[in-house]
Amino acid sequence: MPRRGGVSTERSEVELHVRPSAFWKLCGQVLLVAGALYLISRVAFVVAWVLVALVLALALEPAVVRLERRGLKRGLAIAIVMGLVVGLLVALGATLVPLLVEQARAFFEAAPTWIDRLRASEAMAWATAHLGLVDAVRNEVATAATAAAGSAVALVQGVLYGLAATITVIALTVFMLLFGPAVARATLEWVEPARREHVVSLAVQMQRSVGGYVAGALVVATVGGVVTAVAMLALGIPYYVPLGLLMVVLGLIPYIGPVIGGVLVSGAAFLSSGVTAGLVMLGVFVVYQQIENHLLQPLVQRHTIKMNPLLIALAMLVGTASAGVIGAVLALPIAGAVQVIAESALARRQQRWAGASPTQSPMPALAPSST
**Which has more confidence, 27 or 282?**
282
Determine the pLDDT at residue 204: 82
Q: Quote the CA–CA distance of 120 and 115 in Å, as a whole number.
A: 9
Tell me the backbone φ, ψ of residue 7, rounded to 5 degrees: -110, 125
Q: Quote the CA–CA distance of 315 and 119 in Å, as a whole number.
A: 38
- The SS3 call for residue 3 is strand
pTM of the model: 0.62
> Per-residue pLDDT averaged across 158-181, rounded?
83
Burial class (CB in 10 A: 0-12, 13-18, 19+), 33: exposed
Percent of the chain exceeding pLDDT 90 equals 7
298 has a pLDDT exceeding 80: no
366 has a pLDDT exceeding 50: no
Determine the pLDDT at residue 284: 92
Which tens digit of pLDDT belongs to each residue from 109-124? 666 666 666 666 665 5
Report whether 156 contacts 134 (CB < 8 A). no
Determine the pLDDT at residue 159: 65
Which tens digit of pLDDT belongs to each residue from 36-55? 777 766 777 777 788 888 88
Determine the pLDDT at residue 115: 64
Determine the pLDDT at residue 141: 56
Please state which of the ranges 37-41, 147-151, 309-313 shows the lowest mean pLDDT: 147-151
Name the band, by pLDDT with cuts 50, 70 and 90, for residue 67: very high
Q: Quote the CA–CA distance of 249 and 314 in Å, as a whole number.
A: 20
**Which has more confidence, 225 or 335?**
225
For the stretch 323-327, contacts whose Cβ atoms lie closer than 8 Å and that sit 24 or more positions apart, written own/partner, are: 323/44, 323/48, 325/249, 326/48, 326/52, 327/48
- The SS3 call for residue 7 is strand
Report whether 328 contacts 313 (CB < 8 A). no
- The SS3 call for residue 368 is coil
Which tens digit of pLDDT belongs to each residue from 80-97? 999 998 888 787 777 666
CA dihedral sign, ordered 100, 103, 109, 113: negative
153 has a pLDDT exceeding 80: no
Nearest to 118 by CA among 275, 246, 7: 275
Mean pLDDT for the chain?
A: 75
Which tens digit of pLDDT belongs to each residue from 243-275? 888 888 888 877 788 888 888 888 888 877 888
**Which has more confidence, 73 or 336?**
73
Determine the pLDDT at residue 14: 44
Most confident of 40-44, 197-201, 302-306: 197-201
332-370 b/e (C-beta count within 10 Å ≥ 16 → b): bbbbbbebbeeebeeeeeeeeeeeeeeeeeeeeeeeeee
**Which has more confidence, 26 or 150?**
26
Concatenated DSSP letters for 281-302? HHHHHHHHHHHIIIIIHHHHST
Most confident of 6-10, 87-91, 362-366: 87-91
Report whether 83 contacts 232 (CB < 8 A). no
Determine the pLDDT at residue 363: 47
How open is the CA angle 110-320-202, to the nearest 5 degrees? 135
Determine the pLDDT at residue 369: 43
142 has a pLDDT exceeding 70: no
What lies within 8 Å, CB to CB, of 57 at 6+ separation is 173, 176, 177, 180
What lies within 8 Å, CB to CB, of 20 at 6+ separation is none
